[in-house]
Structure 1
Amino acid sequence: MPDYYAPTGGHPPQTQLLTDRAVFTEAYAVIPKGTMRDIVTSFLPFWTLTRLWVLSRPLSGFAETFSQYIMEVQPGGGSQTPETDPEAQGVLFVVSGTMTLSIEGTNHEMAEGGYAYLPAGCDWQLENTGNEPVRFHWVRKAYEAVPGLDAPEPFVTNEKRVAPKVMPGTDGKWATTRFVEPEDLRHDMHVNIVTFEPGAVIPFAETHVMEHGLYVLEGKAVYRLNQDWVEVEAGDYMWLRAFCPQACYAGGPGRFRYLLYKDVNRHMKLR
């Protein structure tokens, strides 16, 4: 049974040491879970009883294609006008609590592990109809339409209903839960879940054009970012610009899992 980490805010005592793992470099950033306090929350127009932590945003010269939030909606809260940008597509992933998502007039009940893809221009609303706060990731990207390709449809599922795909040659120790097939060229972003069993590794320094947002859902590991090895754990966020080398060693004792964003399936912009 997955055990996703979700921030709850609060404020550290004056006695806490200032030393922390937060770092921002020209190639990557690490935003530890301890930085997600009340003082750094934001609010959005047309959302009630809601606050959010902004994990990443388009930043010139760094990662430019997406934003990622952790939303916290109290009982009775939500929005009838959640997305104000008609060109923005989105993915929602629930890490705690329950909520009702309405897409084109059809209601979907979502709980932990719930996943929704919302294409640009989609008519959707969201409400926390439960008795506890609901916390979910919201990944947004401007959709890059291609003449001759239909736009993708909205869909709602849960990671429990999606069989992970095992990486060849890893004896099942490295797997990816893919919510969209890589060959579906209508999609220009993927938001997947990557799972490493204890002892599993990414055995080379991946260096590629895709930008990444990696939110650690479970466990801990040592992650290679550019030339540095960094310890990360559940609740931490890693933000990688294009071509930042990365690798991973999952030392255990439990599984290491993260929610992964990457931009895919489009020509590189030349102007």
Structure 2
Amino acid sequence: MAPTSYAGPAAGLPDQSSLHTGRAVFTEAYAVIPRGVMSDIVTSCLPHWQQTRAWVIARPMTGFSETFSQYVVEVLPGGGSDRPEPDAGAEGVLFVTEGEATLTVEGAVHRLTPGGYAFLPPGCRWTLSNGGATPLRFHWVRKLYEAVEGIPVPEAFVANEREVPIRWMPGTNERWGTTRFVDPTDVRHDMHVNIVTLESGAVIPFEETHVMEHGLYVLEGKAVYRLNRDWVEVEAGDFMWLRAFCPQSCYAGPDRFRYLLYKDVNRHASLGLPWRNRR
């Protein structure tokens, strides 16, 4: 496989002679947030994080992400947090794209470099710092964990995508595959954060239409993506949100196309609608 690269926000600020991006779109079924609109002016600070800023690219709200939030976090040298997660019920995944993180989970110290991945179950104690000389960037996906009686909460773990094999889809001649950090049949987990790889010219050859909500951050390459009724061009550094049942398919571009993929899994559909409580 070719060397791996990881895109990130463009940062900075366009000058006064720049044309605005023409690719940002927000619809009832999907959204595209292009890399070009992730400038310094749209970043947020986080409580109890030092020398840190974040691009919040998904958050639960009406008509948008329902099950998860996702940040691209930048931590300058010497920065980090001893109180990173404010919600004891939240689980998280960290995926490092640039720099080096020192992650401490329940007293165990881990060094995460680009491609590094960490799963953090709800209620676990963790801290993160940047002890290096260059900025650290990582994705932070957060979800409220859906506990199930009789099924234990999964334990924390760390990995690196370079050590996890790609599981190629049958009949694709190793052109479309997924790097899976969790066994799909492990029902302790109620979300998966994977990496999808499509080699040059590969396709998702049908319109996937399913119950899982998606967040897709393009790590590498270009593609033409089918989102609901539309075909849109996406490239490294872009983010896509797809609501449940939004049709989707893809044609990969001239180079390898890869994205970080969130989806909610392994739980019954919630029937907790307001009308059920009426008498």
Instruction: Return the TM-score normalized by structure 1.
Output: 0.98
* Contact 1:97–1:130 (8 Å) recurs in 2: yes
Contact (CA 8 Å) 1:100, 1:109: kept in 2 or not? yes
* 1:57-97 CA-partner distances (Å, limit 9, x unpaired): 01224330000000000000000000010000000000111
Q: Give the match for residue 267 of structure 2.
A: 266
Deviation for aligned residue 1:251: 2.5
Aligned residues: 270
Number of the residue aligned with 2:42: 40
Q: Match for residue 258 of structure 2? A: 257
Q: How many Å apart are 1:7 and its aligned residue?
A: 1.9
**1-side partners of 2:8 and 2:149: how far apart?**
39
Q: Which runs of 4+ in 1 moved over 2 A?
A: 60-63
SS at match of 1:160: helix
Aligned residues of 1:63 and 1:242 also touching (Cα < 8 A): no
Tell me if structure 1 keeps the 8 A contact 2:77–2:135: yes
1:79 aligns with 2:81: yes
Change (3 A) 1:159 1:64: same
- Deviations along 1:196-224, whole A, 9 cap, x unmatched? 00111000000011000000000000000
Show the counterpart of 1:3.
Answer: 5
Partner in structure 1 of residue 219 of structure 2: 217
Please tell me whether the aligned partners of residues 187 and 265 of structure 1 are also in contact (alpha carbons under 8 angstroms).
yes
SS at match of 1:93: strand
Q: Percent identity?
A: 68
How do 1:157-196 residues align onto structure 2 when only pairs under 5 Å count?
157-196=159-198
CA contact (8 A) 1:176 1:193 kept: yes
**Structure 1: distance between partners of 2:72 and 2:19:** 26
Alpha-carbon distance change, 262 to 98 in structure 1, aligned in 2, over 3 angstroms: same
Residue 130 (structure 1) aligned to one of 129, 132, 139: 132
Contact 1:208–1:242 (8 Å) recurs in 2: yes
Alignment-mate amino acid for residue 214 of structure 1 = L
1:75 alignment partner, SS class? strand
Secondary structure at the counterpart of residue 147 of structure 1? coil
Q: Does 1:100 align with 2:117?
A: no
Show the counterpart of 2:150. 148
1:211-268 CA deviation, whole Å, 9 max, x = no partner?
000000000000000010000000000001111000000131x200000000000001
- What displacement does 1:154 show? 0.2
User: Quick one: distance in 2 between partners of 1:199 and 1:5?
Assistant: 20
CA distance in 1, matches of 2:174, 2:154: 31
The answer to whether the 8 Å contact 2:221/2:253 transfers is: no
**Alpha-carbon distance in 1 for matches of 2:59, 2:199:** 31
Asked whether the 8 Å contact 2:21–2:36 carries over to 1, the reply is no
Partner of 2:277: none
Report the Cα distance in structure 2 between the residues aligned to 1:235 and 1:86, rounded to whole angstroms.
30
Change (3 A) 1:172 1:81: same
Structure 1: how far apart are the matches of 2:96 and 2:22? 27
Tell me the distance in 2 between the aligned counterparts of 1:31 and 1:61. 15
Matched residues in 1 for 2:22 and 2:109: separation?
Answer: 42
Other-structure match for 2:276: none
* Partner SS for 2:15: coil
Is the partner of 2:41 in helix, strand or coil? helix
2:21–2:37 Cα contact (<8 Å) kept = no
Q: For 2:240 and 2:195, how far apart are their aligned partners in 1?
A: 14
8 Å contact from structure 2 (residues 198, 252) kept in 1? yes
Amino acid at match of 1:140: R
After superposing the two structures, state which structure 1 stretch, 126-135 or 10-19, moved more: 10-19
Q: C-alpha separation between the residues in 1 aligned to 2:79 and 2:10? A: 16
Unaligned runs of 5+ in 1: none
Q: In the aligned structure 2, how far is the partner of 1:63 from the partner of 1:72?
A: 22
Q: Normalization by structure 2: what TM-score?
A: 0.96
